[in-house]
Structure 1
Amino acid sequence: MKEKVDLKAHLKKHFGFDTFKGNQEDVIENVLRGKDTFVLMPTGGGKSLCYQLPALILPGTAIIISPLIALMKNQVDAMRNFSEDDGIAHFLNSSLTKAAIANVKEDMLAGKTKMLYVAPESLTKEDNIEFLKRVDISFYAVDEAHCISEWGHDFRPEYRRIRPIIEEIGSKPLIALTATATPKVQSDIQKSLGMAGSMVFKSSFNRPNLYYEVRSKKHATRQIIKILKDNTAKSVIIYCLSRKKVEELTQALIVNGIKARAYHAGMDASTRAANQDAFLMEETDVIVATIAFGMGIDKPDVRLVMHYDIPKSLEGYYQETGRAGRDGGEGKCITFYSYKDIQKLEKFMQGKPIAEQEIGRQLLFETVSYAESSICRRKILLHYFGEKYHPENCDTCDNCCNPKEQSEGKENVILMLKSILALKERFKADYMAAFLTGEDNSAIKSYEHDKHELFGAGKEKEGKYWNAVIRQLLVAGLLIKEIENYGILKVSDDGKEFLEKPRSFMITQEHDFESSDMDEDSGGGTAAVDPELFSMLRDLRKKIAKKKSLPPFVIFQDPSLEAMAIHYPITLEEMLNIPGVGSGKANRFGKEFVELIKNHVEQNEIERPVDMVVKSVANKSKNKIAIIQSIDRMIPLDDIASSRGIDMDELLSELESIVYSGTRVNIDYYIDQVMDDDRRDDIFMYFKEDAETDDISSALEELGEDEYPEENIRLVRVKFLSEVGN
């Protein structure tokens, strides 16, 4: 448009705002001038307005290419609220009926529609291409443009076809928008959309109101429940990678009195939409979701975003955490991290094309670097997006609030920089770490670098340390990653200057999450056991065992007592959260134990971990229920095992778990088939009168392995525990 437009008047008229945010005004002016425009703007920065306002000002219809049906509907509804005519905005996708599509086309040809939202899949349909050729198009907008790049966190192959289709329909100015793009992804987007010469408008990726924290994934569900209890009535999104985990976690939250709903692609569309609306309308506080949730969902007051599972890339993480505090208010971002999750993600990549695996591994490497690093998280995130954060301390991340120890690393920095130059700047971080530690690996041998004078020069440190050095040198700008061959390390001009004039360089000690990793369901190690209580519980077990003429292990096993001495259950309901304690055991033996624990807690003024109040969802293991039902029908155990797709050893382990937690099973019908009465009675009497422990190896030693096979001993032990203990 040639004449000068009063943008603020249009902003006030259409949206009711008096001022633009950030560089919105400059972007809109560029679009109105008919120039290709690239917009990098973080979530909450007001990207949508950058194409909505010019679409309302310019003659014709703007075609907005968007990846999610939910996002389109959300934005179309929002636009219709700003206008008196519903025809002002439409979407065209697979969810519409033929009649609805006809209505959309009618409004467009009549010139009523200023914005048409279309999915890339719909854009490629021949009849839609032919129809759009008849429409007066003002410009094209590609939203969530990172989907174009294989290095982006949500790559969609159909996005690669956008440029050729635009050419076929009729070339017009193009605006590409994304909330997350590293320099590599930005370069990819511009190449793919044929807009290398476009004006680039990049807002700062810094979200100063967000607090970033990474925690060890030790009892993550319990930690989440405690956090939610401390943040009642706040809007919360919790992200999980699998649908199964979404369902499990939602159930656990509901059982603990938290208003939560699930959201994932496996649910039927109406339930999913109802759950999303319940969250938007504040009928529920918490949404537990896979990453499908939240793209473009305009809820400004999300106060907490938690990641039960670490995302596959830092871009994904940045976009998901960016849904917190979009109104500029409080926003906490808490992520639970275990290296085991990274290994699982690596496993999922197996079988994919090699190039895809390589990209996936590099993206995971960045995620691991972020999680395990002890330097300012804001610095790492902003560096990832090609932006420098200068303050030494941001005061709004766990690493800055609880700084880790530092040590002088000047000599090691020199060694790393020299090694990268000596190997002609052709390798990635893992290779350099392996080279310096002198690792005996095939890649190093193939380049004959095992013969290099610097090979193994840093072997007094672990590979983990050298990876930390690389991360910290990247953030400090002494190293850079080449954009074209992403991940290959180059020494920057600052790095070369450092080699000429070395100076002090402090290396921050990294987090060690591995030593604190623990499975969600484990009862806890002995480190936090209250030794006095543990001793008292053992004495009580001995007393009850003597009174009932039972071996102590029949009452409760040691791991169960240890868990009691960590978590201090003071009700029978809480006792059910202890591993190895089912309702049968709790009702039969639990009363005296919880009374003892309660007295101990009161007398010693012990502050119990709040997570012990967490109620667990009843164990509905289909395997266990099916096994018990089959035993009730007297099906031979070997047949049960084969029908469940497990071997006899696994079946016996399941049976042991069932009887240890207090459920009674009668397997006499099977024992009578596989052993004679005398042997059965010998084993039974051993456990009743001689055994000090239920240990199988002790039983084999005492009874004689040749005469009494291990399987027989385990079978009779199940019978013994079931009859005597339950």
Structure 2
Amino acid sequence: MPDSSQPQRLLDLLQHTWGYSAFRGEQQAVIEALVAGRDCLVLMPTGGGKSLCYQLPALARPGCAIVVSPLIALMQDQVEALQQLGVRAAFLNSSLSAEAAREVTRHLRKGELDLLYVAPERLLSQTFLEQLDEVRIALFAIDEAHCVSQWGHDFRPEYRQLDVLHRRWPEVPRIALTATADLPTRTEIIERLNLESAEVFLSSFDRPNICYRAEVKRTGLNQLFDFLAGHRDEAGIVYCLSRREVDRTADELCARGIRALPYHAGMDSQLRAEHQRRFLREEGLVMVATIAFGMGIDKPDVRFVAHMNLPKSIEGYYQETGRAGRDGEPAEAWLCYSLADVVNLSRMIDESEASEARKWAERRRLDALLGLVETTQCRRQLLLASFGESYPQPCGNCDNCLEPPETWDATREAQQALSCVYRSGQRFGSAHLIDILRGGNTAKIRDFGHDRLSTYGIGAQHDANTWRSVFRQLLAAGLLQSTGDGIAGLRLTQASRQVLRGEQSVYLRRDRLRSRGKQPATERTAPQLSSPAAERRFVQLRALRQRLANEQSVPAYIIFHDTTLRAIAEQQPLSLEQLATVAGVGDRKLERYGRQVIEALQAAHEV
């Protein structure tokens, strides 16, 4: 018979530990299923509260919850946050000394831990598996579960061995969680982890607070500077394709007065860790990084994510942009891409040693991403459709909704471009093809006799930028494809025949040209406090939070999120009892910081 007191018990745990009076979305349903001992697969967007789905059951069930996590930084961040709440949490990874690791193991054996975070490599070691045989396990949580998929962007081979958990401890419930998984990835998670009987909780993938933008690369860094002008002194991430570009971009940002740090695998590991630590704990820093940075980063106040190159897939793009605005406040995802990105990614797929099935899947993923960046429709609608979710109307918070793009009939230009590809032998890149179309007098044209082609000079009425846009959009539309032979050449596809025969019209979007320094229209507005007095209280509270964080060497947001500080500043509690009613103030934080918060509010009143 179901325990009728269970829902209230879970709400009490939520209130007293985390300081919230109600669950969000499907959190309660997931938690109740896991507490009852049933397996779960949870797909929930970044910032949607996935961690609570296993952290609260870890307190509600007897024993210690074992959390599989892929990154050291993520483990440390989660454990520090839990310890602030008074939860007995620890991690085991390579950052610990031998003695510190033994101490954690002693606490585990004595039943003194509620949650233990471990890397998959350590969990799978025979020694650790035998240690777990000696303790009571509350549950297994497999975080970032998309790492199990060979089709995914963060594939970790060790994740594919985690089915051992079900075989060795069939009675212990498991929960697999991810913010990023299309249908093939979800299917593989279920198969690889033996979760066929699991309850699946699929939340909306929508992040309504993120404004999505994409623009064609022309001046590169100058475009980035224009974008960053709207994010002065705000924390953000700039993703670059190569280590060299990361270093160059970080140097240029610093030279222009923007506090920026580089992060890539070629750096000294201690320096890389220090840069990540600074990004998490200091305010207003910009991290310039390769995609090696970011998975599991819990920093809630990242106000933007910028891409200086085209990502490999929508799944990767969604995961990376999802690091912005975890606190639910307005954020931007900005993408700057070029025809070269499209050609290079196509060539990388063709030249890889992957199976034909894998190449086919990667091409489909790239096609979907090209469709997203080149669309004239609402970007959010296409983004969510790639995850099988229907968004009923234009979102009003992407560039295409805020500034509808102009389209033009480019049927003749498409025919000219395709004909030029065919007549030049279907092996040259766009730069040379554009030279032919515009009637250029280059050595390459003369050497190959391409000045005698019928397509020579027929496109002289358009500048090179227009033709680059045409070729890029023809690639995106599947009317051209990379030759895959290492020289970035282009060739026709079956679909191009209809266009060449005049049986199909081609409409393309005109690339936006934004003037230097001009900010585009946006729905982005920072949260406003109700009065100058509330603003003073908020400033005073932030100063207190930073001091407390510095004293403990933890990120400031682990003490209190900005949303909690704003609520305190607005409500202006006069006692600990009143402060306890503010969302985000649990029992332990009230005990540790309550008096200092009240004193800070009084000091702000006296200013």
- Note the 1:277-296 alignment, pairs <5 A: 277-296=277-296
Q: Provide closer, same or farther for how the CA distance between residues 266 and 455 of structure 1 changes in structure 2, counting only shifts above 3 A.
A: closer
Residue 402 of structure 1: CA displacement?
2.5
Aligned to 1:76: 79
Q: Which has the higher helix share?
A: 1
Q: Provide closer, same or farther for how the CA distance between residues 297 and 608 of structure 1 changes in structure 2, counting only shifts above 3 A.
A: closer
Aligned to 1:265: 265
Aligned to 1:394: 395
Counterpart of 1:359 in structure 2: which amino acid? A
Aligned to 2:18: 15
Distance in 2 (CA, whole Å) between partners of 1:202 and 1:190 is 13
Aligned to 1:183: 183
Distance in 2 (CA, whole Å) between partners of 1:26 and 1:35 is 11
Q: Deviation string for 1:488-529 (max 9, x for gaps)?
A: xxxxxxxxxxxxxxxxxxxxx44466xx9xxxxxxxxxxx9x
1:55 aligns with 2:66: no
Distance in 1 (CA, whole Å) between partners of 2:496 and 2:95 is 60
Give the 3-state SS of the residue equivalent to 2:33 in structure 1.
helix
Counterpart of 1:76 in structure 2: which amino acid? V
Distance in 1 (CA, whole Å) between partners of 2:503 and 2:273 is 50
Residue 40 of structure 1: CA displacement?
0.8
User: Contact 1:94/1:122 (CA < 8 Å) preserved in 2?
Assistant: no
What's the RMSD between the two structures over aligned residues?
3.1
Q: How many residues align?
A: 439
Aligned to 1:133: 133
Counterpart of 1:343 in structure 2: which amino acid? V
- Note the 1:454-473 alignment, pairs <5 A: 456=497, 459-460=500-501, 465=506
Distance in 2 (CA, whole Å) between partners of 1:118 and 1:99 is 17
TM-score by length of 1: 0.56
Aligned to 1:634: none
Of 40-49 and 315-324, the range deviating more from structure 2: 315-324
Aligned to 1:35: 38
Distance in 2 (CA, whole Å) between partners of 1:322 and 1:130 is 37
Counterpart of 1:342 in structure 2: which amino acid? V
Residue 363 of structure 1: CA displacement?
1.9
Counterpart of 2:343 in structure 1: which amino acid? Q
User: Contact 2:408/2:510 (CA < 8 Å) preserved in 1?
Assistant: no
1:251 aligns with 2:251: yes
Asked which structure has the greater CA Rg, the reply is 1
User: Contact 1:130/1:169 (CA < 8 Å) preserved in 2?
Assistant: no
- Note the 1:641-656 alignment, pairs <5 A: none
Q: Provide closer, same or farther for how the CA distance between residues 324 and 351 of structure 1 changes in structure 2, counting only shifts above 3 A.
A: closer
Counterpart of 2:402 in structure 1: which amino acid? C
Q: Deviation string for 1:114-149 (max 9, x for gaps)?
A: 111111111221111111121211111111111111
Give the 3-state SS of the residue equivalent to 2:201 in structure 1.
strand
Of 146-155 and 277-286, the range deviating more from structure 2: 277-286
Q: Deviation string for 1:222-272 (max 9, x for gaps)?
A: 111122233211112111122221111000101111111112233233322
- Note the 1:145-294 alignment, pairs <5 A: 145-168=145-168, 171-294=171-294
Aligned to 1:342: 342
Residue 367 of structure 1: CA displacement?
1.4
Q: Provide closer, same or farther for how the CA distance between residues 252 and 461 of structure 1 changes in structure 2, counting only shifts above 3 A.
A: farther
Q: Provide closer, same or farther for how the CA distance between residues 45 and 608 of structure 1 changes in structure 2, counting only shifts above 3 A.
A: closer
User: Contact 2:499/2:505 (CA < 8 Å) preserved in 1?
Assistant: no
User: Contact 1:92/1:118 (CA < 8 Å) preserved in 2?
Assistant: yes
Percentage of pairs with the same residue:
43
Q: Provide closer, same or farther for how the CA distance between residues 432 and 243 of structure 1 changes in structure 2, counting only shifts above 3 A.
A: closer
Aligned to 2:371: 369
Give the 3-state SS of the residue equivalent to 1:158 in structure 2.
helix
Q: Provide closer, same or farther for how the CA distance between residues 92 and 333 of structure 1 changes in structure 2, counting only shifts above 3 A.
A: same
TM-score by length of 2: 0.67
User: Contact 2:166/2:194 (CA < 8 Å) preserved in 1?
Assistant: no
Give the 3-state SS of the residue equivalent to 1:316 in structure 2.
helix
Q: Provide closer, same or farther for how the CA distance between residues 431 and 397 of structure 1 changes in structure 2, counting only shifts above 3 A.
A: closer
Distance in 1 (CA, whole Å) between partners of 2:476 and 2:399 is 29
Distance in 1 (CA, whole Å) between partners of 2:322 and 2:345 is 23
Counterpart of 1:353 in structure 2: which amino acid? A
Distance in 2 (CA, whole Å) between partners of 1:461 and 1:95 is 64
Distance in 2 (CA, whole Å) between partners of 1:277 and 1:438 is 45
User: Contact 1:278/1:284 (CA < 8 Å) preserved in 2?
Assistant: no
User: Contact 1:148/1:159 (CA < 8 Å) preserved in 2?
Assistant: yes
Q: Provide closer, same or farther for how the CA distance between residues 304 and 461 of structure 1 changes in structure 2, counting only shifts above 3 A.
A: farther
Q: Provide closer, same or farther for how the CA distance between residues 202 and 213 of structure 1 changes in structure 2, counting only shifts above 3 A.
A: same
Aligned to 1:299: 299
Q: Which of 374, 381, 384 is 2:383 aligned to?
A: 381
Aligned to 2:318: 318
Distance in 2 (CA, whole Å) between partners of 1:220 and 1:163 is 45
Q: Which of 63, 67, 79 is 1:64 aligned to?
A: 67
Q: Provide closer, same or farther for how the CA distance between residues 182 and 351 of structure 1 changes in structure 2, counting only shifts above 3 A.
A: closer
Counterpart of 2:401 in structure 1: which amino acid? C
Q: Provide closer, same or farther for how the CA distance between residues 366 and 81 of structure 1 changes in structure 2, counting only shifts above 3 A.
A: same
Residue 464 of structure 1: CA displacement?
10
Q: Provide closer, same or farther for how the CA distance between residues 47 and 609 of structure 1 changes in structure 2, counting only shifts above 3 A.
A: closer
Residue 404 of structure 1: CA displacement?
3.6
Q: Provide closer, same or farther for how the CA distance between residues 145 and 134 of structure 1 changes in structure 2, counting only shifts above 3 A.
A: same
Q: Which runs of 5+ in 2 are unaligned?
A: 410-473, 484-493, 519-607
Residue 165 of structure 1: CA displacement?
4.5
Distance in 2 (CA, whole Å) between partners of 1:217 and 1:149 is 32
Distance in 2 (CA, whole Å) between partners of 1:290 and 1:464 is 39
Give the 3-state SS of the residue equivalent to 2:215 in structure 1.
strand
Q: Provide closer, same or farther for how the CA distance between residues 192 and 510 of structure 1 changes in structure 2, counting only shifts above 3 A.
A: farther
Residue 462 of structure 1: CA displacement?
9.4
Give the 3-state SS of the residue equivalent to 1:291 in structure 2.
coil
Distance in 2 (CA, whole Å) between partners of 1:166 and 1:97 is 30
Residue 166 of structure 1: CA displacement?
4.0
User: Contact 1:133/1:170 (CA < 8 Å) preserved in 2?
Assistant: no
Residue 285 of structure 1: CA displacement?
2.4
User: Contact 1:438/1:456 (CA < 8 Å) preserved in 2?
Assistant: no
Residue 75 of structure 1: CA displacement?
0.6
Counterpart of 1:206 in structure 2: which amino acid? D
Distance in 2 (CA, whole Å) between partners of 1:459 and 1:187 is 40
Give the 3-state SS of the residue equivalent to 1:129 in structure 2.
helix
User: Contact 1:261/1:284 (CA < 8 Å) preserved in 2?
Assistant: no
Aligned to 1:116: 116
User: Contact 2:405/2:510 (CA < 8 Å) preserved in 1?
Assistant: no
Aligned to 2:94: 94
